[in-house]
Structure 1
């Protein structure tokens, strides 16, 4: 919904600004201000061209000059406008795009749980983030690499263990992790060799 722009408006420079320079972070507090030059009798707020009304989370000041999000959520991401009016005219601001910063959420690691010695291993970490998250990889608590993927060209027994992907978002100052255990089976694996020896001993006993 776009309000008509009169040819000779006594109100001018209608615009939306945020209260502070801090970004809008999911589940945080956030406030928008409708500024205008001239004598303003009333203000209306629009979200994606539809009139915005108060709710349990959205609080308007007495003169509708500000709208407070308490808290702001991902569903609030949209284009906002403010229409300022006096007795003779109404002027609508340009669109203000509200982008919500969030995450990491739903951090997951995709990749195998077990591989044979010498096999290629590719782990990929993903998370819901805005902006895009940064990733760090740990093996048994020791940092190994950075980036979305972690690749082992040829798996060795020492590559087995507990892998952790730590996803972080600098804008929200939040971190989340996902964990996956990897077993490397085959020659050089002491546990595997011991199992083979036990099985061979049983075969010999049965043969007698």
Structure 2
């Protein structure tokens, strides 16, 4: 018994061998010799060599928008070939799509798990790969956190928050004076009835925006000043310090 191109051990009519690297096929030869007549006969058998699946991976974006179609491809090393099946989150496996599928994600704050299973078409052995897909969402639940009433000469901090995936960038304003960021420190040094705060949150991926407003009442002995005095004095007498702190990204192109 012999095996072309491979190391093998033959004893009588039994051959033992291990394939060290992939080849398309192997030829096993058996030679029989009549010990009395020295007549020789030979038979050859071709063996198909299987490999994989190995190196399974998914190709496609990991950040998507809800209600938009996206295409993903699965790749694996298989000999002679692989079949593919897909699964979303904890759902059932589905096939018939080959190694490429199209999916339309739903809006969620949790990542979607996309799994591809590659199966060797002959051996039945399989390996899977999973990709986490984040869906852009928000901004929602935009709010300005801080006291509703402040006193004259007191310093207070107001913070704008929003539910956003990926992160939001913020634009804050105090009585129409605008800064970048979601944190405002404010101090009123003169009598006013109220101060208006505004915060705009923008999703850095989708570009969607949402706005929150907050009216801060001013507490003090002269807080009941006449409307005329307030109207003429707001611009000149409102003294505040604003410090903008971006959460994760700068507000660009403003």
Report the TM-score, using the length of structure 2 for normalisation.
0.57
Give the whole-Å Cα distance in 1 for the aligned partners of 2:105 and 2:114: 17
Contact preservation (8 Å) 1:155, 1:184: no
For residue 100 of structure 1, the aligned residue among 124, 135, 145 is 135
The aligned counterpart of 1:183 is 217
State the Cα distance separating 1:75 from its structure 2 match: 6.3
**Which of structures 1 and 2 has the bigger CA Rg?**
2
Per-residue Cα deviation, 1:177-207 (whole angstroms, up to 9, x for no partner): 1011122233555xx1449xxxxxxxxxxxx
The aligned counterpart of 1:23 is 63
CA separation of 1:70/1:97 partners in 2, compared to 1, >3 Å: closer, same or farther? closer
Structure with greater strand share of residues: 2
The aligned counterpart of 2:144 is 109
For residue 112 of structure 2, the aligned residue among 78, 94, 101 is 78
Q: Which runs of 5+ in 1 are unaligned?
A: 1-7, 55-59, 196-208
The aligned counterpart of 2:153 is 118
Matched ranges for 1:30-45 at <5 A = 30-38=70-78, 40=81, 42-45=83-86
The aligned counterpart of 2:163 is 128
Q: Which runs of 5+ in 2 are unaligned?
A: 1-49, 228-254
Contact preservation (8 Å) 1:117, 1:187: no
The aligned counterpart of 1:140 is 175
Contact preservation (8 Å) 1:112, 1:182: yes
Structure with greater helix share of residues: 1
Contact preservation (8 Å) 1:16, 1:34: yes
For residue 88 of structure 1, the aligned residue among 120, 123, 147 is 123
Give the whole-Å Cα distance in 1 for the aligned partners of 2:189 and 2:143: 22
Give the whole-Å Cα distance in 1 for the aligned partners of 2:174 and 2:193: 8
RMSD: 3.0
Q: Which has the higher contact order (CA 8 A, sep 6+)?
A: 1
Report the TM-score, using the length of structure 1 for normalisation.
0.68
